Every structure is written in structure tokens, then in C-alpha cells.
Structure 1
């Protein structure tokens, strides 16, 4: 049986990356954190934390971390359902996984009024739109925005709408790298902008239509929605941008659409557990009612 104080110490170190920060979080000394973690490791017969700067969770520790985070989330949901609010404030907390583009464009403005009116705070976790449902499956979030249309057992999947992505770059970039249009040889030479190693929207499209893997063309990894736009505007590379972000730059001529035939429609779905807190029910109803106006 896991002891709560030992589990709390492990969770605090894993999430802060430091024994000192964990001690501040738990309002105890760093030596007490160390002792509790050592006791837990001895009990389990496994090293859970690598004592580095910052501290890193081992493979076994990652299994325990996911279990404890899942348990904490379930306890929060239970308390909110029974007590009607967070035990420490008048706000309700929900955990949502989403892709970075949705968070940077339409999601927060759409939810703003509801979050303020209902006193709801959100802990967002960002991942590729094809991966966010795994966080829901692991029990780490209450709901997610994803491209996965099929709901897993115990969940409901509801269609939100589609984000349209345009294949764009600066006029000077297009003139230099695509003077004869977009073709396989040109793509092998032109530097691409990719959000990160999970950016399947870009890599899958190039692989499927031109037979090129990321190792076959130069590319930047820029894991920030705003920095990604900035990189394109200053001419570092080409890539796909959602209409929400690219429209004003197309209007000013700072960016141009390289070819309309390369537009990508990304269908998005809202996945949530069938059993929801009242606050998440309000959030879900609001999202389903208004998202299609924004996305379509």
C-alpha cells in the first residue's frame, strides 16, 4: 500500500524537478523529501528519480507518476462533484489537452466568457492533435481536442469543425526556392518549418504526396505557435499555417499562398468522459454549441 506522504514527495520532485522546490511546495525540509522518497524507493525496490539537475523520472518512476497523476485527477473530479467547488477556492479546475494551434487561435476566445462566468480554471496540456487523446486515455486530462474521430470506451467524441491550413511563405522565399513551382526536387532543397517531431500534419503530407521523409529535406523545429509565424514572416522557411494566423499576413502581402491545391482541412473532435462534473458539462455544451461557428 502506497503511503500518501511518500507518494506526495515523489510527485512533487517529479513535477518540479528539484528536491528544494518540492520541499517548498510541501512546506517541509529538503531532507524530509529525500527521506520520504528513499523510503518509497526501498519499499518498491526501484529507483524512481535520477538525482540530476533537474531531477529526472526513471522508466519505472514514469509508470508511478502517471498512476498518481491519474489518481489525483479522479479525486479532484470527485470532490468537485460532491462539494461543488475546489476545496481551496471558489474556482473549479478542469484539465484539457489540446493542440498548440487551437490554443493559440480560437479556443481561449471561445471559452473566455464561460470560464469567467462559471469560475472555471483550466490546466492545458499541449500535444500534437493526433496525440492528445492518449492523455485522456491515460486519465491525465478530463477532455481533449483531437483529430481522432472514434471515442474510446467510457468516452464520447463530438465533432467540433475543421481548421483550414494554407501552404505559405514570403514572396522572396517563394521566388528563391520555388521559381518553377512546388515539386520534389525543390522540396529537397527548400528549408521547411515544422512545429516539432510530432508535427504529422507537415511530415505526413510531404511523405504522402512527394515521398520525402524529414531526413531528406532541411527543416527547422519551432515548437511555439507565435514563433512559428514569426519565423515564416522573416523568411526562414515555408510551411502550413491556419487561416486564423495567416489571414492578416496574406492581406498585407507579407506572406503568400504558394499553392491553394496544398491546403489541408483538419477535422477536430472533442473527447470527454461520459461521467463529467457539472462544470465540464457546461464547458462541453458551450464548446459544442459555438465551435462550429468559429471553425467552419
Structure 2
């Protein structure tokens, strides 16, 4: 039988990333947290946490985290059914993973009223749409928006639609760098803007369309959605931008589609555990229906 205080200490470290912060959260000393985690590791015969800044879970730790979060979710569901509220407050916390572009465009406006009505607060984790699925798999979130179609055991997946991305640049940038057209030699010398190292859309377009590997042209990483678009508006480079985010700028000519043939439609899916709370059921329905109206 797992010891509840030891599991509580492990969960705290897993969620806040350090023994010091976990101690503050639990109102005990960091050494007490460490002793409880060590006792749990000894009982299970597995190292659960790699000590560092921040602490990192081992594979065994991720498996335990997934189990404990499921257990906590089931407890919340039971209390919700019996008492009409969660054990900690009248609000119900749901952990979600989303790609940055969905968060910056359609997600929050779509779920605003549901969050109010169902008294839901969110713990949002942001990652590339190709990686959010891992956060669900490791038990860090209850549901995720992902580009992964394959359904994990114990989960359900529903298609949301497609986000369209276009290769855009400012009018001034086009006049300066692409006055003679877009071609392989020009692209080798022209600065690009890429969201982060996980964002492979830009590199895939240039490799497939022009035979240019990523190391053959200059680029900047700007890992913030608003700043990313702003950088392109300011003429710092050209890049792949979600159409939803910049439709007015396309219509008024501030931004120009420099590679119409290279637009990408990225399919998105909503993955969640089969056993979930009433609140997450309602949120799931809202997200799926809203996405069908907004996405392609």
C-alpha cells in the first residue's frame, strides 16, 4: 500500500520542480520532503526523481505520477458527485496542454463561458503540437491539443480541424529581399524567423521546396507568439504564421504570402482520458464544437 504522505511529497516535487518549493507548498521542511520521497523510493525499489535544478522524473517516476494524478482525479470526481464541489475549493482545476498558436488564437475565447459556468480553473502547459501528446502520456495533464492522431491506451481522441499556416513577410521585407522573386539562392541569404527548435514547419518547407537544409540560411528563434508575428511585421525575417492570427494583416496588405504554394494545413486533435470529470466532459464538448466552427 502506498503511503499517502510519501505520495503527497512526491507529487509536490513533481509539480513544482524542487524540494524547497515542495516544502513550502506542504508547510514542511525540504529535508522532510526528501525523507518522504526517499522512503517511497525505497518501498518501490525505484529511483523516482533525479535531483537537480529543476528536479526531473525518471520513467518510473512518470509512471507513478500518472497513477497518482488519475487517483486524484477519481477522488475529485467522487467528491464532485457526493458534495457538488472539489475537496480544495469550489473551483475545479483541469490541467491542459496546448500548442502556442491555438492558445493565441481560438482556444480561450471558445471556452470562456464554459470556464465561468462550470467554475473551472486551468493549469496550462504549452508545447509544440507535435509534443503536447507526451504531456498526457506522462500524466502531467488531463487532456491536450495535439497533431498526433494515434490514440494512447486508456484515452479517446477527437478531430478538431486544421490550422492553416502561411509563409509571410512584411511588404517592406519583400521589397528589400524578394524584389526579384523567391528562389533558392535568395533564400540562402535571407533571414528567417522560427518559433523555436521544436518548430519544424519552416525547415520542412524550405527543404522540400528548395532543397535547403536548416543550416544553409540565417534565422532567429523567437519563442513567443505575439513577438513572433511582431518580428515579421518589423521586417526581421519571414516565417510560417497561423492564418487565424493575422487575417486582418493579410487583408490590409501589412503581411504578404510569399509562398502561396507552401501553405500547410496542420490537423489538430483533442485527446483525453476515457474516465474524466463532468467538468472535463463539458469542456471537451465545448472545445470540439468550437474548433469545428473555427478551424478548417
TM-score, normalized by the shorter chain, greater than 0.5: yes
Q: Secondary structure at the match of 2:266?
A: strand
Shift of 1:63: 2.2
Cα 1:15–1:148 change in 2 (3 A) is: closer
The within-5 A match list for 1:53-92 is 54-57=53-56, 61-84=57-80, 85-92=85-92
Q: How far apart are the structure 2 equivalents of 1:139 and 1:35?
A: 24
Cα 1:5–1:215 change in 2 (3 A) is: farther
Contact 2:48/2:58 (8 A) holds in 1: no
Shift of 1:125: 1.7
Cα 1:278–1:48 change in 2 (3 A) is: closer
Contact 1:161/1:267 (8 A) holds in 2: yes
Contact 1:96/1:141 (8 A) holds in 2: yes
Contact 1:14/1:55 (8 A) holds in 2: no
The within-5 A match list for 1:37-56 is 37=37, 39=39, 44=45, 46=47, 48-51=49-52, 54-56=53-55
The within-5 A match list for 1:70-149 is 70-84=66-80, 85-149=85-149
Q: Secondary structure at the match of 2:58?
A: helix
Contact 2:50/2:58 (8 A) holds in 1: no
Count of aligned positions = 291
TM-score scaled to structure 1, two decimals? 0.87
Q: How far apart are the structure 2 equivalents of 1:233 and 1:283?
A: 35
Q: How far apart are the structure 2 equivalents of 1:107 and 1:96?
A: 11
Q: How far apart are the structure 2 equivalents of 1:130 and 1:33?
A: 34
Contact 2:162/2:295 (8 A) holds in 1: yes
Cα 1:56–1:169 change in 2 (3 A) is: same
The within-5 A match list for 1:1-296 is 3-37=3-37, 39=39, 44=45, 46=47, 48-51=49-52, 54-57=53-56, 61-84=57-80, 85-296=85-296
Contact 2:18/2:55 (8 A) holds in 1: no
Shift of 1:224: 1.1
Q: Secondary structure at the match of 1:96?
A: strand
Aligned-residue CA RMSD in angstroms? 2.4
Q: Could you give the per-residue CA deviations for residues 122-150 of structure 1, whole angstroms, max 9, x where no partner exists? A: 22221111222222233332222122233
Q: How far apart are the structure 2 equivalents of 1:294 and 1:136?
A: 24
Q: Which consecutive unaligned segments of at least 5 residues does structure 2 have?
A: none
Q: Which consecutive unaligned segments of at least 5 residues does structure 1 have?
A: none
TM-score scaled to structure 2, two decimals? 0.87
Shift of 1:268: 1.4
Shift of 1:64: 4.0
Q: How far apart are the structure 1 equivalents of 2:220 and 2:287?
A: 34
Q: How far apart are the structure 2 equivalents of 1:13 and 1:80?
A: 21
